[in-house]
Amino acid sequence: MIEKTNDFLIGIAIGVRFRANFSIEDQLGKIVDTILYSKNSSFSPVIFPKVRNTIGSKILFNEITEDKIHIDNSNIILEINLHSNNIFKKDNINDIISSFEVEIINKIMNEFKIKEIIRVGFIKRYIYQVNTLASSFVQKTIGNTIDGINDINLSFSKKIVTPEGLIKKDVNDYDNVIFNIIKKADLDEIFMAIDYQRYFNPFLPIASEIKFASFIQAANSFNETKYPEWINKNYTEAIDVKQK
């Protein structure tokens, strides 16, 4: 039985999507400088020593850790990998989330007048090196109708109405949870990503109206309760995992 999904966590991503704002493209260089060189920046050149320029976007990245921040005219996305050669560990996740809220949402988005927020997202990525779970997932998904299937790439989603969407008049906010599941034929493991998103309808006019802490709380709650319940309920016979 899987009790602590964080035991299998390999990475996270946090992002904000906003209405396409093409004036941002003219300010990308200044945005990058502000992220990298602000006093006590959590995302300094030590963390992101390189910047890649692409058409209409910039990517701050680290070749060793493969961490990155992607910025374009409608998205700001932070990706952190949790592995042995990274200074970020599982114990740092709350600090990473806090830094994103303070330095990106509260500072960058307000300073550069990034408005009309469409959604926020928090992805947790897991690897389960449990052969019986991987094979059971393929078997239960494909069944016996097609022989020789040893790999799978599946995505499905679940919509959840938020309290604001239920209570407030003319507010139709909702959460959307996307499950991404990959099993490769040559590996005895299964990859799962839980992409927890909150959509704002109507769009939030300014970034300061994002209730980021409550969003993260909802995302973590789903990952710690509903998600393992789903695994344990459907694949109990396949799981024999010692929790750390």
Q: How far apart are the first and last CA of the chain?
A: 12
pLDDT at 242: 45
Q: Is-above-0.85 flag for pTM?
A: yes
Q: How many domains does the chain have?
A: 1
pLDDT tens track for 57-79: 999 999 999 999 999 999 999 99
222-238: per-residue pLDDT in tens?
999 999 999 988 886 55
Query: Does residue 243 sit within a domain?
Result: no
Residue 39 has pLDDT above 80, yes or no: yes
> What integer pLDDT is reported at residue 240 of this predicted model?
56
Report whether the peptide linkage leading into residue 202 is cis, meaning its omega lies within 30 degrees of zero.
Answer: yes
Distance from C-alpha of 133 to C-alpha of 205, rounded to nearest angstrom: 44
Q: Does any domain span residue 9?
A: yes
Does position 135 have pLDDT exceeding 90, yes or no?
no
Cα four-point dihedral sign 144, 145, 148, 153: negative
Kindly state whether residue 39 falls inside one of the protein's structural domains.
yes
Domain interval for residue 105: 5-238
- Confidence grade of residue 122 (pLDDT, cut at 50, 70, 90): very high
> H or E stretch including 202?
strand 190-206
11, part of any domain: yes
pLDDT in tens, 192-218: 999 999 999 999 999 999 999 999 999
Give the residue from 130, 119, 99, 122 showing the smallest Cα distance to 7.
130
Asked if the structure places residue 63 within a domain, the reply is: yes
What DSSP state is assigned to residue 39?
T
Q: Could you read off the pLDDT of 141-154 as tens digits, one per residue?
A: 777 777 777 788 99
Average pLDDT over residues 76-105: 95
Domain assignment of residue 244, yes or no? no
Average pLDDT, the chain: 91
| pLDDT-above-90 percentage for the chain | 71
Residue 146 within any structural domain of the chain = yes
Query: Looking at residue 244, what is its pLDDT?
Result: 44
